Copies of this chain bind each other. A is one copy, B any other.
Amino acid sequence: MRDFSHDHRWLSINTATVRRSHGVDLPLPRIIDACARRGIRAISPWRDQVAAAGLDTVSKLVKAHELELSGYCRGGMFPAADAPGLAAARDDNRRAVDEACELRAACLVLVVGGLPGALAGRPAHKDIAGARAQVRDGIAELLEYARPRRMPLAIEPLHPMYAADRACVNTLEQALDLCEELDPARDPAGPPALGVAVDVYHVWWDPKLQAQIGRAGRRRLLAFHVCDWLTPTTDLLNDRGMMGDGVIDIPRIRGWVEAQGYAGYSEVEIFSTGNWWRRGHDEVLDTCIARHRSAV
């Protein structure tokens, strides 16, 4: 297991973490600049932030600062209530792959979606098995587009509390079942086409976590995300904690992941309306660096 206590060479900042500074939206170019000034070597930007700044602008900034992208957030949201909805999701996901390629991201993270309409509070139906079938079909189709472009797809199992509205893939076991079905490892030495993003916030509770990380192996472990689970948690989406402030034994989980050969970034992704998004982004980034050393 790598020693993170002396530097932040393997820290990546998911740009949602400093999406707001003092409660105000912070543009992606300023986030990139703030990361580069601190010697942070990698980021993982969100599509809406990239779109707001312009893909070309972001691409040039990333190259100028020699930043890596530990991932690109995000594709997915496959289920739909009708054929036009499915086609729109397909087209949007292809654009996400193209953008990820332009930015040379390590992978495109997939938040697969839940029941159609549920995110807007109007679920079209209650057939979660049906939604899961649409997810499987959607990933299979996107894989055909992403594979020749050499853009790995990383299925991110989301915490079960998001099953209805954000992602109906809710355990690492379920994500790996999809990987094995859709991308059977014919060539274990070749580049991965389909794998998983392991976010400790989503999976820390799982009694089968260690076993499933072992099952994933190096080939399927495409990204590793960190933050912390607070007690109490006051909001289902936007009350994530800074590493060290909650109950997740992050070093233990990182140890399991690295035991499989994972040697990539540890990406900080914190959504925090009530705390971190209210603070200044300089303080947040400095805290991420400190906690990366002490609590990851």
Q: Which residues of A contact B (CB under 8 A)?
A: 115, 118-119, 121, 123, 126-128, 132, 159-161, 163-165, 168, 170-171, 174, 204-207, 229, 231-234, 236, 246-249
Contact = CB atoms under 8 A, between A and B. Distances in A.
A36 to B, nearest CB: 33
Contacts of A206: 160, 170
B121 A233 contact: no
Secondary structure class of chain A's binding surface, majority of residues: loop
A170 B236 contact: no
Contact of A132 (B115, B168, B207): B207
10 contacts: A118-B247, A128-B204, A159-B160, A160-B205, A163-B205, A164-B231, A164-B247, A165-B231, A232-B236, A234-B236
Contact of A126 (B128, B132, B164, B249): B249
A126 B248 contact: yes
A132 B209 CA distance: 14
A280 B204 CA distance: 40
Nearest to A174: B207
B118 A231 contact: yes
**Sorted from nearest, which 9 A-B pairs have the closest CB atoms?**
A163-B205, A126-B249, A160-B205, A118-B231, A161-B161, A164-B247, A174-B207, A160-B160, A164-B231
B160 A231 contact: no
A234 B171 CA distance: 23
Contacts of A165: 231-232
A168 B118 CA distance: 28
B233 A161 contact: yes
A170 B126 contact: no
A11 to B, nearest CB: 21
A161 B174 CA distance: 18
A122 to B, nearest CB: 8
A130 to B, nearest CB: 10
Contacts of A159: 160-161
A194 B39 CA distance: 56
Nearest to A126: B249
B123 A247 contact: yes
A206 B123 CA distance: 18
A215 to B, nearest CB: 15
A249 B161 contact: no
A133 to B, nearest CB: 12
A118 B123 CA distance: 34
